[in-house]
Structure 1
Amino acid sequence: MQIRAAVLNTMGTSRPYADSRPLTIETLELHEPGDGEVRVAVRAAGLCHSDLSVVNGDRPRPTPMALGHEAAGVVEAVGHGVHDLAPGDHVVMVFVPSCGHCGPCAEGRPALCEPGGAANVAGTLLGGDRRIARADGSTVNHHLGVSAFADHAVVSRRSLVKIDRDVPFEHAALFGCAVLTGVGAAVNTAGVVPGSSVAVVGLGGVGLNALLGALVCGAEPVIAVDALDHKLALARELGARDTFNATDENAVEAIRAATGGGVDYAIELAGSERALELAYQITRRGGTTVTGGLAHPDRHIRLQQAGLVTEERTLKGSYVGSCIPGRDLPRYLRLFRHGRLPVDRLLSGTLPLDDINTALDRLADGEAIRQVIRFD
């Protein structure tokens, strides 16, 4: 079948993207789902910094590539071997498919699935195939096994979580990346406990979800750090007790003073080595620093080794919020539906696919938290 999709042909295009238009809207051929695969009619797809990092070259991927990795939609068709989904089911797409059999999957760490990670780097689905092509027969790569900036997508069954049909698509889409990654960083990776102090550094869609996750865990106080005042204002509205502008040269000292020597958990989600260094500096003795921000692979941080030892510090990475999608996504949806995880307040607006390049500029400038492309 033919689909309309946003395709990246070359990374590193200059800004503004509204003029250079790195994503072109193309008519492509979508092949039928193979064994263990599902065709989904995409209804909503969130625009995330992980998309932007492919566009600007921070996360190199094979091109041409149909982008988009955070989405929700309706099952239209299933391939051989798929027995637990049927046409009409509503699903959320998860950007790391988990095979269920490799070492990490067997240990309950599907975010680290080895075949899933290899497929994502190669631009294929979990089974190693590509289901997108141009009219001339040349293949187009998949983005993180999803490629959701399109009206339809073929994905692995292992990339899908079934949800209730009454969840609005524009909200459900956010659970595939922003919510799993942000809330999971607080709940799963950090293991925030009630009454502990938490600082979140970097208040994009993922960072603000980490803040919500810390609040759900019963942290007190929860502190927000960012370079943009309007994001700090939103963090206060969501429940942060104190906010600090990261550009203040005395920010570290001010945060440590406000928290009696530092926080129990500092969670960095800015994707910047400077932000991670700040997060580490504001973590107390014996505390835990978590990073889920993806900086360019060439970026490095500097740490004092002696302090890591004598202060018994913990520095942890968090990918997809260390989540088990089939377990965590329904839990977070229940919290959302009971008003305890107000993810809908992070939605900056909806837009048509044709406006995606302008939306990239808003994301890069920090003007928007989460923009969602709607396919109605």
Structure 2
Amino acid sequence: MGSNSASETAGKPIRCQAAVCRKAGEPLIIEEIEVAPPTSWEVRIKILCTSLCHSDVTFWKLSAGPVSAFPRILGHEAAGVVESVGENVEEVKEGDIVIPVFQRNCGECRDCKCPKGNICSKFPEDFYCGMPRDGSSRFKDKNGEKLYHTLCVSSFTEYTVVDVTHVVKMNPDFPIDKASLLSCGVSTGLGAAWRVADIEEGSTVAIFGLGAVGLAVVQGAKLRGAAKIIGVDLNPEKIEIGKKFGLTDFINPTTCGEKSTSQIIKEMTDGGADYCFECIGLASLMQEAFTSSRKGTGNWKDCNTWNRDAWHTVKH
């Protein structure tokens, strides 16, 4: 679609395919749905690429609580092209390549303007199952039943509608399949290393778990000039891919014999790593990361929790 001409579907509902989760823990069903046109401050996006985050699995299993709502459309890591925009949207236009992000940034409230973080306080956080301004839905199934959103994104569909505060314009030359990872995993890991920990040149760093978030921490540590970057993972195949991102050392806890991972890290770093990052979300690993940190000056970060500051690094 051209960026200078109005889309033929602008202002009209769009029928498309989506992966719908009817009940917690049940397989997703590919269904025809209806996606409403964007209203004021909203953007409708044609999803070109989406990826699976472990948080999607968490929401898929969630059978109770304020953010458990079914039937729903999951997914929050994606990249796409703007199909149409509603009134008052100036940041993006039809044809722009964008990534939808679950951590909004209005750019106006006190928290979004704060250089130390960007936990937007303009909209209530209890609307994560719908649009952020009023909690309503832009999805219906073929019977007219409402479908709930996930994290204000819902990318497991051919088209989605998001608030403009959840959209970031991308360079059109950036690879689409890689751009989708910027929505969550990469920004969390890179932001934790670059912005939250603020790793200094020459530091020693240990990363527990070399998935998408962990590898992003590795990349962030390398960009910050860390002297020793230690990866900890049970999968030996992570060694080579970790080296491509900047890993200098690798530990497989199953091959450590009688020594604990923290003992080995302390030996490798002369007393403990300056920075430790837990990127899995296990209490035992959080303790191990804490124990592996240098006494007095060492720091550890739990990257499994949604890093509120991480996206600020990529966006700005």
TM-score category by the smaller chain?
0.7 to 0.9
Per-residue CA distance 1:188-242 (angstroms, 9 max, x = gap): 1111111111111111111111111111111110110112221234213432111
Does structure 1 residue 258 correspond to structure 2 residue 246? no
For the residues of structure 1 that align with 2:200 and 2:122, how far apart are their CA atoms? 30
Give the CA deviation at 1:115: 2.2
Give the residue type in structure 2 aligned to 1:319: N
Q: Which residue of 1 aligns with 2:41?
A: 36
Aligned-pair Cα RMSD in Å: 2.0
Kept in 2, the 8 Å contact 1:102–1:115? The answer is no
**Aligned partner (choices 58, 62, 71) of residue 57 of structure 1:** 62
The unaligned stretches of length 5 or more in structure 1 are 14-21, 295-317, 332-376
The SS at the match of 1:118 is helix
Per-residue CA distance 1:290-340 (angstroms, 9 max, x = gap): 11214xxxxxxxxxxxxxxxxxxxxxxx6145332xxx3367xxxxxxxxx
Give the residue type in structure 2 aligned to 1:126: P
Per-residue CA distance 1:47-94 (angstroms, 9 max, x = gap): 111112222339963221101101111111000111231111111111
Q: Which residue of 2 aligns with 1:315?
A: none
User: Which one has the bigger helix percentage?
Assistant: 1
Does structure 1 residue 195 correspond to structure 2 residue 183? no
Aligned length: 295
For the residues of structure 2 that align with 1:267 and 1:4, how far apart are their CA atoms? 39
For the residues of structure 2 that align with 1:112 and 1:230, how far apart are their CA atoms? 39
Does structure 1 residue 322 correspond to structure 2 residue 310? yes
For the residues of structure 1 that align with 2:201 and 2:290, how far apart are their CA atoms? 21
The SS at the match of 2:298 is strand
Does structure 1 residue 70 correspond to structure 2 residue 68? no
Query: Cα 1:170–1:25, aligned 2, differ >3 Å: closer, same or farther?
Result: same
Per-residue CA distance 1:254-282 (angstroms, 9 max, x = gap): 11111111111101111111111111110
For the residues of structure 2 that align with 1:196 and 1:116, how far apart are their CA atoms? 39
Query: Cα 1:230–1:184, aligned 2, differ >3 Å: closer, same or farther?
Result: same
Query: Cα 1:116–1:74, aligned 2, differ >3 Å: closer, same or farther?
Result: farther
**Aligned partner (choices 137, 143, 148) of residue 150 of structure 2:** 143
Task: State the structure with more CA Rg.
Answer: 2
Kept in 1, the 8 Å contact 2:210–2:232? The answer is yes
Does structure 1 residue 292 correspond to structure 2 residue 298? no
Question: Which structure has more RCO (C-alpha within 8 Å, separation ≥ 6)?
Answer: 1
For the residues of structure 1 that align with 2:290 and 2:311, how far apart are their CA atoms? 23
For the residues of structure 2 that align with 1:111 and 1:275, how far apart are their CA atoms? 27
Query: Cα 1:212–1:321, aligned 2, differ >3 Å: closer, same or farther?
Result: farther
The alignment's TM-score, normalised by the length of structure 2, stands at 0.87
Does structure 1 residue 126 correspond to structure 2 residue 132? yes
Kept in 1, the 8 Å contact 2:208–2:279? The answer is yes
Give the CA deviation at 1:176: 1.2
Kept in 1, the 8 Å contact 2:140–2:147? The answer is yes
* 1:214-229 matches, cutoff 5 A: 214-229=221-236
Does structure 1 residue 117 correspond to structure 2 residue 102? no
Give the residue type in structure 2 aligned to 1:167: F
Kept in 1, the 8 Å contact 2:103–2:166? The answer is yes
* 1:8-23 matches, cutoff 5 A: 8-13=21-26, 22-23=27-28
Give the percent of matched residue pairs that are identical in Structure 1 and Structure 2. 33
Query: Cα 1:176–1:113, aligned 2, differ >3 Å: closer, same or farther?
Result: farther
Kept in 1, the 8 Å contact 2:190–2:310? The answer is no
Does structure 1 residue 7 correspond to structure 2 residue 36? no
Q: Which residue of 1 aligns with 2:171?
A: 164
The unaligned stretches of length 5 or more in structure 2 are 1-13
Give the CA deviation at 1:103: 4.4
The SS at the match of 2:84 is strand
Kept in 1, the 8 Å contact 2:83–2:94? The answer is yes
The alignment's TM-score, normalised by the length of structure 1, stands at 0.74
